[in-house]
Amino acid sequence: MSLKVLIVDDEEKMRKLIRTYLTREGYICLEAKDGFEALERLKKENPDMLIVDVMMPYIDGFTLVEEMRQYLQIDSPVIFLTAKGNEEDKVKGLKIGGDDYIVKPFHPSELLARMEVIFRRTHRIASDVKIAAIGPLQFDLQGRIATVEGRRLALTQKEFDLLFLLAKNKGKVFTRGQLLDQIWDSDYAGSERTVDTHIKTIRLKLKEHSHLIQTVWGIGYKFEVPS
C-alpha cells in the first residue's frame, strides 16, 4: 500500500518539487499552503508523514506540529524544512515532536533518504526490498535495479526513473513536456529532444522488449503490455 505524505509549505514551487520526486517514488501526496489548511486536512486525513516548512504566515510549522500532537493526537512523523539552520531552531523542532530537520536548499534525494530512515524506524514500511513487477519487467526500488525476464538492464539514473514512471502508469500517454517535468523537474532548461534520446537508449537496452514503450505520434510516449 502506498504511503501518504502531507506537504505543508507556503511556496508553491517547493511543494511542486517535493511532490514530483515523492510521486515518482510511489508516495501519495497531499498539500497545504499554510498551517490553517494543514490543520483542516489533518482533521480528515491521517497521513503517514508530514513535511513541514517552519516559516509560514499565520501558523508557523512549529505551532502546527504542537497543535497536531496536543489537540488532534496525531503521532505521524514530521520532517521540518527551513531556511534557518541555527542550532537553537533545530533543537526546538526536535523537542516539540519533529523527527528530522532539513535546511534549505537541499537535494530531493536527501529528503527521500531521510524519509526512508524514519519510516523504517517507525515500522511504517517493511524492511525487505520493495519489488515492483510490471509485465516482463521487475524494479528493485531500493537498489534501483531493473530487470527484464531476469536480465539486468544497465540503466542510468534518469533512464531508470523514466522507464519506471512509464511502466507504473501503463497505458497512460505522457507528453515530452510532462516527462521532462517529472524526471528532470520544471527548472530543466534543455530540449524536449532529451526525452527522445533517453527513450531510444532504453529501447536499445530492452532489445526484443523495446515494443513495451510505444510512440504516440504527435503527443509523446506510453508503456503498454500486450495482453
Domain range for 214: 129-221
pLDDT value at 198 more than 90: yes
Give tens-digit pLDDT for 138-187: 998 877 889 998 899 998 888 998 999 999 898 999 999 889 888 876 55
Q: Are residues 144 and 173 in the same domain?
A: yes
Q: Are residues 59 and 159 in the same domain?
A: no
First to last CA, the chain: 25
Q: Are residues 172 and 215 in the same domain?
A: yes
Pick the last residue of a domain from 76, 102, 121: 121
Residue 16's pLDDT band (cuts 50, 70, 90): very high
> Which CATH number characterizes residue 201's domain?
1.10.10.10
Q: Are residues 115 and 158 in the same domain?
A: no
Assessment of whether the complete model's pTM goes beyond 0.85:
no
Please state, in angstroms and rounded to a whole number, the distance separating the CA atoms of residues 25 and 111. 12
Distance of CA 98 to the CA centre of its chain: 20
CA 75, 79, 81, 84 dihedral sign is: positive
What's the number of domains the chain is made of? 2
CB atoms within 10 A of CB 7: 25
Quick one: which H or E segment has residue 133?
Answer: strand 131-134
Please state, in angstroms and rounded to a whole number, the distance separating the CA atoms of residues 186 and 181. 5
Residue 186 counted as domain residue:
yes
pLDDT value at 224 more than 90: yes
Q: Are residues 6 and 115 in the same domain?
A: yes
Q: 215, 208 in Cβ contact below 8 A?
A: no
pLDDT for 185 equals 62
pLDDT for 65 equals 93
223 compared with 99, residue with greater pLDDT: 223
Per-position b or e across 14-47, b if 16+ CB within 10 A of its CB: bbbbbbbbbebbebebbbbbbbebbbebbeeeeb
Residue 61 counted as domain residue:
yes
SS3 call for 134: strand
pLDDT for 162 equals 93
pLDDT for 127 equals 46
